[in-house]
Chains A and B, each alone.
Chain A
Amino acid sequence: MSNPILETRNLTKIYGQNIIFKDINLKVNEGETIVIIGPSGTGKSTLLRCINLLTANEGGQVFLDGQEITAKNYNEDKVRQQIGMVFQNFLLFNHLTALDNVMIGLLKVKKMSKEQARQKAMEELKRVGLEDRASHYPGQLSGGQQQRVAIARALAMDPRVMLFDEPTSALDPELIGEVLGVMAQLARDHMTMLVVTHEMGFAREVADRIVFMEKGSIVEEGTPDELFYHPKNERTREFLWKITELYGKKEKEQSATA
């Protein structure tokens, strides 16, 4: 636990005149699940995109396994193979079946043989409980199933870290549970995860640490207990109070079904 698997140092993102976030310092240890919470527009999603280099930063560094991946001439494609990402709107490849969605990275990026890739992809689909949907196209799957295929697609690359960008925000309430269930299982399997979400129940039960971000900086971070029951900062308290009020009802329904 001495060396973090992922670390950002003074990471900064600016769009024109707008500072999206500034001087973000974040350490993620191997096997940890870190949940980032905070109001909309505080740069949480952009932070994830900066970490896997989908968006350029305006300052600071990102380290993966002690290597600076933001260094000039560092192979971006290699970085992204090691950092899996799950998006709010799933972004499955629409022209491919569930199985092919999971296979294509193995075939084209990892250059696996077709047989090996198929086997690996089926394992990953099994892991998210969708082996019986392997030959379905995204258009034939529910939102929850699509998101689970997207998780399998990212997992297939054997990433060091998984990034989740509001993975349940686009889902109907009754489909959220199945996706959170898969994520909770991953956390139990000690996958290193960085999750942006508004699902406070998930944060409380699954996170090792919660990071509260507002207006482009980290306001407070700590264990779920510390943040939910003994927040040091007034803003953290206000935000958590508001959001549990808002989502409280839905969570009760989920914990009943989970």
Chain B
Amino acid sequence: MFSTFFSYIIQGTAITIAVTLVALPFGLMLGLAMALIHTYGGNILNRIAAAFSLLLRGVPPIVLLFILYFMLSSKSFNLSPFWAGSFSLGIVSSAYQMEILRGALLAVGNGQMTAARAVGMSRVQAVQHIILPQALRLAIPPWSNEVSIVLKDSSLVYALGVPEILRRAQQLSATTQQPFLAYGTAALIYFVLVFATNRALDYLSERTKLPTHS
């Protein structure tokens, strides 16, 4: 009985990881685009990006998840709960990732842009070759935090019926009458995932650090 119990919840782990692997890069792309628009866009684009961020960060993720889910799974998009839930989670995360990247872009400073332009680079080239490589390095530690949040918030899609870890833990708790075992196992899996990811990103941050003394 225990082996079926665990294999059932392990399958949920695969779905949790899949949701995260869709939501996170999608949120990163959208967040990066918004951060660039906010930092380098004109007056109007800048305000649109700011409003996007303010709105998404001012509402609980679960509420947004429901709204976005019903938009994405409606007739016009017709996405399955898995895809609709993952993209919704990505959109919510994009606002937070945008702020992380915006901070990193600002931290790189105007001087680097000036120097790049002085060499004859266009603004796009300067961002691509000079600003972003530095900003992304700076963004790794705060981004690592956002990765944990997305991993943990992926449990919210259980409310949409996606059979990930929490959903399965709930089912097991109901059928086996062992809530501590079911939810405890779920908690342990989340913890291991978050811990491993943070460690991996710490390592990446260390590896990409720029040398400062000879």
Residues of chain A at the chain B interface (Cβ within 8 Å): 52, 54, 77-78, 80-81, 84-85, 87, 89, 91-95, 104-105, 108-109, 136-137, 139-140, 153-154, 157
Contact = CB atoms under 8 A, between A and B. Distances in A.
Contacts of A157: 119-120
A77 B210 contact: no
Contacts of A105: 119-121
Interface stretch (B27-35, B75-83, B125-133, B186-194): B125-133
Given A92-B115, A93-B130, A140 B120 contact: no
B114 A91 contact: yes
Given A81-B120, A95-B130, 20 more contacts: A54-B114, A77-B121, A77-B122, A78-B120, A87-B114, A91-B114, A92-B115, A93-B130, A94-B112, A94-B134, A95-B133, A95-B137, A104-B119, A105-B121, A108-B125, A109-B119, A109-B120, A109-B121, A136-B214, A157-B119
Given A52-B118, A157-B119, A157-B120, A109 B125 contact: yes
Contacts of A89: 111
A94 B117 contact: no
A139 B211 contact: yes
B115 A137 contact: no
A24 to B, nearest CB: 20
A108 B116 CA distance: 11
Nearest to A83: B118
Is chain B's interface secondary structure helix, strand, loop, or mixed overall?
helix
A71 to B, nearest CB: 18
Interface of B: 111-112, 114-122, 125, 129-130, 133-134, 137, 210-214
Nearest to A159: B120
B108 to A, nearest CB: 8
18 contacts: A77-B121, A80-B118, A87-B118, A91-B112, A91-B114, A92-B115, A93-B116, A95-B133, A95-B134, A95-B210, A104-B119, A105-B119, A105-B121, A108-B121, A108-B129, A139-B213, A140-B211, A154-B119
A91 B119 contact: no
Query: Sorted from nearest, which 6 A-B pairs have the closest CB atoms?
Result: A81-B120, A91-B115, A139-B212, A105-B119, A85-B118, A109-B120
A91 B111 contact: yes
A93 B213 contact: no
Nearest to B136: A95
Nearest to B111: A91
Contacts of B133: 95
Given A52-B118, A77-B122, A104 B129 contact: yes
A55 to B, nearest CB: 10
Given A94-B112, A139-B211, A54 B120 contact: no
B213 A140 contact: yes
A153 B116 CA distance: 11
Given A89-B111, A91-B111, A94-B134, A137 B117 contact: no
Nearest to B109: A91
B123 to A, nearest CB: 9
Nearest to B119: A105
Contacts of B212: 137, 139-140
Nearest to B123: A77
Nearest to A55: B114
B190 to A, nearest CB: 35
A53 to B, nearest CB: 9
A91 B110 CA distance: 10
Contacts of A139: 210-213
A66 B167 CA distance: 74
A54 B118 CA distance: 7
Nearest to A102: B119
Contacts of B115: 87, 91-93
